[in-house]
Amino acid sequence: MSETDIDPIIGSPAPESKEPRHLRRVLILWAVFSVIGIAVWLAVARFILPPAATDLDNSDNFTLLVFTVLAVPVAMFVWVFLGYSLIVFRVKERPIADGIPLKPTPLLQIGWLSITGILCLFLVIWGLFGFYQETSAAPSNALVVQVTGQQWLWTFYYPQYGVSSQGQVLELPVNRPVIFNVTSKDVLHGFAIRALGVRVDANPGEVTTTPVVTPTRTGSYTVVCVELCGLYHSYMWSAVNVVSESSFSSWVVSQGGHV
Amino acid sequence: MKQHSSGFVIGIIGSIILGFGVVAGSWFGLRSMWGVGYEPGILSATKTGSNSATLSVSTFPDSHVCHANVGEPQIDWVTYCPTTSFKVPANSVITIVINNYDSATPIINDYFRQVYGTIGGDELVNNKPVRAVNAEDISHTFTLQSTPDSPHPLFVSVPLVGVPDDAPTPVNIAGQSYPQPNTISFQFRTGPPGTYVWHCYDPCGNDREPPYGFSGPMSTTGYMAGTLTVANY
Amino acid sequence: MTETKHTNLIRTLFPSAVSGVVLGVIGAIITGMIVYAFVGDNNQDAVIVAGYTGWVIFFFIGIGAFNGVWKWGFARHDATSAEELQLAGKDQGFWRYFRFTTDHKVVGMQYLATVLVLFFVGSLGAFMIRLEQSRPGAIFFTPSTYNTIVGMHGILMIAATIIMVSGPFGNFVLPIMIGARDMAFPRLNALSFWLLFSALPIFFSTLFLGGFPTGWTGYAPLAVQELTPGMDAYCFMIIVFAMSITVAALNIVATVMVLRTKGMTWGRLPIFVWGVLLSVFLGLIAFPSFLISQIMVLMDRVFQTSFFIASFGGSSWLYEHMFWFMGHPEVYVIALPAMAVAAEVTSVFARKPLFGYRLLIGGLVSICVLSVLVWGHHLYTSGSSPALDGPYMLDTEIISIPTGLFFLGIVGTLWRGKIWVTLPLLFVGGMLVNFVIGGITGIYLADLPTDEILHGGMFVTAHFHFTLVGSMVFGFLAGFYYWFPKMVGRRLNPLLGRLHFWLFEIGFLGTFTALFYAGLQGEPRWSANVAPPYATANLIASLFAILIAASVFVLVYNVVVTLVRGEVALANEWGAKTLEWTVPTPVPLENFEQLPVITSLPYDYGSPASLPDTGVVEVVEVIDIPLPAETQIQPES
């Protein structure tokens, strides 16, 4: 696309012949910076996004990855135009002349609104699709954990085994769907496990249920409280151990339950 | 600019230094402000051997003994006594003895009826071993938990059996009459040095109706919440 | 002779803020004691709330807010114009800033001073937070002190940002900009400021009453459960503050509606006026809900009702909805005027008309309308109404379209301008850099799949600091450096200003980028005790915060030095074309000798300028350097 093709869109008068072709320059800069930005993001993303332990968290991380790839050109558009203008069009002293009055042409207005609108709708549809995937019903073999928040401790009860975890530990078997029923005894708490993609409020007098998640990676993670709940809010913490099915069974027995 | 004089630069540096002085001053001021940052004194466990120590505390239904200087309504708050900041030796067996002078408040989370994390899995109530207590008989719990930065997971929770509501009050402490206390003792093993917090999980605060039962003394260090520091000494 | 002096002293002190404070304290003690006589020790909250009520009422008696009602309200005679001028602070010197003064410029200056003080105190809270979070473990503060500091920092900064543009500039600049002699309701104007003032001692009393644990959101039932009366201070402060901004908002709306000068049509209003108008209009919709929610919390606390207590039939979701019904429009209450300031400033320093004036206003109006229905995205994880998550998400993300128009407008205005990179424009540049990041991270939080790993975490904290501080406070600072010469008559040192900008921008980017990283790892908000996995990121954030702290002190130094011995500014310091630059500095009482007549937009750079027809234009030209209109090169139109 040559400069003369674009200029009528922006609505600026045709540049004088000696003037550099600002628009072409800035668009090239924008393309270059966008490519560099996306490349850098794809290179560092694996160090920035923590490893996921469930499919759900994995897809959440993927959403972050995709959204950021989309965001880089948008951000670069503003920054490159801003930086270029501030550097190239600056005058040293108080200006005695005025800038060229520009008006957005209808084409530019429609184009800008359409592009931002399409981007925005894409994000909404993506989000709705992800949300829809989480609404699947729990399979019959799903492990149910009743989570009770109380200032300032989480307690975990496994009704299928009639046993509570003895301490600040949430033990989960790998590759088995799990669903958390979360409630609170006193004030609002927020039940959150980053690596599992699970995050739901514990409301007094209500039971809220998380989406079904299936841990796919053994390891140690943490439950935190993400709703300010008073004095020891930042100590309201538990370990999450995702272990093999057999280890889980022996753990249940060690806590006084029966398999 | 004519203002590149040394006075100008000194002014900048001086104002930045003064500013950080203000920051330091407000840090100091907020720390020493009684109303928001009350930090009770520290009680160290008495060593009874090279690898053992004992700590003795009481729980009272009011604050006349332990916080005699506070006014209403704190004077009516239930409290651990003499303090809630404890220090115990590392890698040792710790015996905690609690004299409970308070009557029972039914617990609302059955989880805390049981004894967890002690040596032998039980506590001694007036020298009788107990593993779980009826929800109606509990007046407080002593529940020690790890913080996210604790080097060694430690979870100890014991229910404290309350005295009957109508018990006679023959014991006289600091001019107040109290019933004969229940003595609860239990043991646990500490690991390397670290910081832990403990709290009571029985709704023993004002009004005793959730969530009010968890208010007041329950969310104030020095009464029903505190820290336990494991240290080398 | 001594007797006259004596009377003069009394006349000076009464009515004034001094007599207001004295009477207010006495009133608070008396009302508190009366209620104490009835309820005794059992209901500390009732005594405290009664004391606060007494303080507010008697403070206003003491400052003379009711004198007008007494004199003229019962229609013994109408206020003469001499009396009106007396109320507006004529010939009262510096003391007029400490009285119930009705002149909009006095109120604007009072707001400006208050905003700066609030920002300073709030930033001290921020540095305390960074201090505590620099290392794992509760080392520098106890958790309860930390919670109180977090809550105080939060609500102080929110209050300050809500009023930061509409208060100082909306009161000082806006009436001149539309060619008015004062606000529509000058006495309400004074009332709005002094209500704000009276809320501050109430708020700071929390430090002596045990603090409050809830953070700035004041979530019930924690707020109801909390026994320390420090919580009452929070609730009561919100009530008084909400009344203050409601009064101020009504006044600004009425002023713009009826007091525009001849020819100042809606299509010729400076965009700043649009921004403030839409902001306060949105505030009128949003804040009553916050006010009512705090009254309900106080009733729960004082009268043992149970609006929010589940075990007695209440619901915590009720509070969340009432709070966020205010809470999300509120960020747009903050954003709209700051964005408008940026647009105003950009046009002046690019020496170009605003790029798409109508498009920009359309954008601001759309934001205003859409933002009323987005609050549910704060409740995605609450379990309150999952069926509504989709619509809330749609609405939240649609807001990015009109916000995009803002970027188009600024970038388009800068494009091929004659850009004079002054401090205000520098801050607009910083605002654009930060706002892009703040806006994009906002999308992550609005989208359901990403919200469920970020909600309630440090990512949220970093996001709203990028929007509220990096974008909107930068917008305020642009306005601050822009209008300071007009309001104070002196020129802030540009070198110190640049130092302030670069320290602030670098420190800001470093601090909150590090917190984005911590949030992505899953660090929860409001942590007195930073867990070890997030310690490094938090330490980096705290180190960068030192730069922010230094920038704040540089700003303070700059303001103090300028007030003491700054250079005198020109009446039209920047060569701008809006009306406030056509009047002399200091702006005379009643602003204009003759009301101007407007014939065009104030952004007609690059075309033959049509200066507004005012009585003081000659004065401007005497002290101004050559106006662009006379020397410019005419391009093809």
CA dist list (Å): B225 to A38, B157, B220, C592: 50, 13, 6, 65
C350 touches chain A (CB under 8 A): yes
Residue among B97, B60, B98 nearest B79 (CA): B60
DSSP structural state of residue C525: S
pLDDT digits (tens, 9 = 90+) for A123-145: 999 999 988 888 888 888 899 99
- C461-473 average pLDDT score: 95
B27 touches chain A (CB under 8 A): no
Place of tokens 């609404």: A135
Q: Which of C419, C452, C635 sits opposite A90 (nearest CB)?
A: C419
- C557-579 average pLDDT score: 90
Contacts of B221 in chain A (CB under 8 A): 231
Given a cut of 80, whether residue B211 has pLDDT beyond it is: no
Which of B33-37, B141-145, C298-302, C621-625 has the lowest average pLDDT?
Answer: C621-625
B211: cis peptide before it, omega within 30°? yes
Q: What is the pLDDT of residue B1?
A: 45
Report CB contact under 8 Å: A103, C404.
no
Amino acid of residue C321: H
Q: Which of A97, A117, A131 sits opposite C389 (nearest CB)?
A: A131
Mean pLDDT of the residues in chain C:
88
Mean pLDDT of the residues in chain A:
88
- Is residue C80 very low, low, confident or very high in pLDDT (cuts 50, 70, 90)? confident
pLDDT digits (tens, 9 = 90+) for C330-342: 999 999 999 999 9
C15: cis peptide before it, omega within 30°? yes
DSSP structural state of residue C184: S
Rounded to whole angstroms, the Cα distance separating B221 from B226 reads: 5
Residue partners of B136: CB distance under 8 A and separation at least 6: B104, B106
Q: What is the pLDDT of residue C607?
A: 65
Given a cut of 80, whether residue C634 has pLDDT beyond it is: no
Given a cut of 60, whether residue A17 has pLDDT beyond it is: no
Report CB contact under 8 Å: B73, C41.
yes
Structure-derived torsion over alpha carbons of residues A62, A67, A73, A74, reported in degrees to the nearest 10: -170
Contacts of A234 in chain B (CB under 8 A): 148
Report CB contact under 8 Å: A97, C432.
no
pLDDT digits (tens, 9 = 90+) for A33-90: 999 999 999 999 989 999 889 988 989 999 999 999 999 999 999 999 999 999 999 9
Place of tokens 């510096």: C94
Q: What is the pLDDT of residue C286?
A: 93
Instruction: Tell me the Ramachandran region of residue B184: left when phi exceeds 0, alpha when psi lies from -120 to 50, beta otherwise.
Output: beta
Report CB contact under 8 Å: A82, C432.
yes
- Is residue B207 very low, low, confident or very high in pLDDT (cuts 50, 70, 90)? low
> Would you give the distance in Å from CA C26 to the centre of its chain?
30
Report CB contact under 8 Å: C311, B210.
yes
Mean pLDDT of the residues in chain B:
87
Rounded to whole angstroms, the Cα distance separating B177 from B61 reads: 11
Question: Which C residues in the span 446-505 are in contact with A, Cβ-Cβ below 8 Å?
Answer: 446-450, 452-453, 455-457
Q: What is the pLDDT of residue B218?
A: 87
3-state secondary structure C73-130: HCCCCCCCHHHHHHHCCCCCHHHHHHCCCCCHHHHHHHHHHHHHHHHHHHHHHHHHHH
- Its ipTM equals 0.91
- C254-270 average pLDDT score: 93
Question: Which A residues in the span 23-82 are in contact with C, Cβ-Cβ below 8 Å?
Answer: 48-50, 57, 59-61, 63-64, 67, 71, 74-75, 78-79, 81-82
B212 touches chain A (CB under 8 A): no
Q: What is the pLDDT of residue B167?
A: 83
Given a cut of 80, whether residue C176 has pLDDT beyond it is: yes
Backbone angles phi, psi at A28, to 5 degrees: -65, -45
Taking one residue from A and the other from C, the number of pairs with CB-CB distance under 8 angstroms is: 291
- H/E element holding B152? none
Rounded to whole angstroms, the Cα distance separating B158 from B141 reads: 6
Nearest chain C Cα to A119, which residue? C401
What does the block give as tokens for C207? 């430090």
- H/E element holding A158? strand A153-158
Burial (Cβ within 10 Å: 0-12, 13-18, ≥19) of residue A16: exposed
pLDDT digits (tens, 9 = 90+) for A94-111: 888 888 888 888 999 999
Given a cut of 70, whether residue B52 has pLDDT beyond it is: yes
Reduced to 3 states, what is the DSSP secondary structure of residue B188? strand
Q: What is the pLDDT of residue C310?
A: 87
Q: What is the pLDDT of residue A146?
A: 95
Residue of B145, B146, B218 to mutate, testing the A interface (most A Cβ within 10 Å of its Cβ): B145
Ranges of each domain in chain C? 2-74, 81-91+101-568
Given a cut of 70, whether residue B34 has pLDDT beyond it is: no
Report CB contact under 8 Å: A101, C517.
no
Rounded to whole angstroms, the Cα distance separating C219 from C217 reads: 5
- A157-170 average pLDDT score: 92
B190 touches chain A (CB under 8 A): no
Strand partners, C616: none
Which of B22-36, C18-32, C293-307, C405-419 has the lowest average pLDDT?
Answer: B22-36
CA dist list (Å): C75 to A135, B128, C60, C79: 68, 85, 21, 9
CB C458 within 8 A of CB C532: no
Burial (Cβ within 10 Å: 0-12, 13-18, ≥19) of residue A82: buried
Q: What is the pLDDT of residue B149?
A: 82
- Is residue C6 very low, low, confident or very high in pLDDT (cuts 50, 70, 90)? low
| CATH architecture, domain defined by C81-91+101-568 | Up-down Bundle (1.20)
**Sign of the CA dihedral running C604, C608, C614, C620:** positive
Nearest chain B Cα to A150, which residue? B201
CA distance A237 to chain B (A): 6
- H/E element holding C215? none
Nearest chain C Cα to B31, which residue? C141
- Is residue A11 very low, low, confident or very high in pLDDT (cuts 50, 70, 90)? very low
Higher pLDDT, C636 or C600: C600
Q: Which of C136, C141, C553 sits opposite B16 (nearest CB)?
A: C553
- Interface residues of B toward C, Cβ cutoff 8 Å, are 1, 3, 11-12, 15-16, 18-20, 22-23, 26-27, 30-31, 33, 35-39, 72-73, 147-149, 195, 205-206, 209-212, 214-216, 219-221
Rounded to whole angstroms, the Cα distance separating B88 from B233 reads: 8
Q: What is the pLDDT of residue A18?
A: 57
Residue partners of A28: CB distance under 8 A and separation at least 6: none
What does the block give as tokens for B3? 């203002």
CA distance C610 to chain A (A): 14
Rounded to whole angstroms, the Cα distance separating C192 from C249 reads: 9
- C40-60 average pLDDT score: 90
Q: What is the pLDDT of residue B203?
A: 86
Q: What is the pLDDT of residue C8?
A: 72
pLDDT digits (tens, 9 = 90+) for C210-225: 889 898 999 988 998 8
The pTM assigned to this predicted structure is 0.91
**Percentage of chain A with pLDDT > 90?**
68
Residue among A71, A53, A153 nearest A120 (CA): A71
Rounded to whole angstroms, the Cα distance separating C21 from C61 reads: 10
Rounded to whole angstroms, the Cα distance separating B29 from C140 reads: 12
pLDDT digits (tens, 9 = 90+) for B101-142: 998 888 888 899 999 999 988 999 998 999 999 988 999 999
- C38-45 average pLDDT score: 82
- B62-70 average pLDDT score: 85
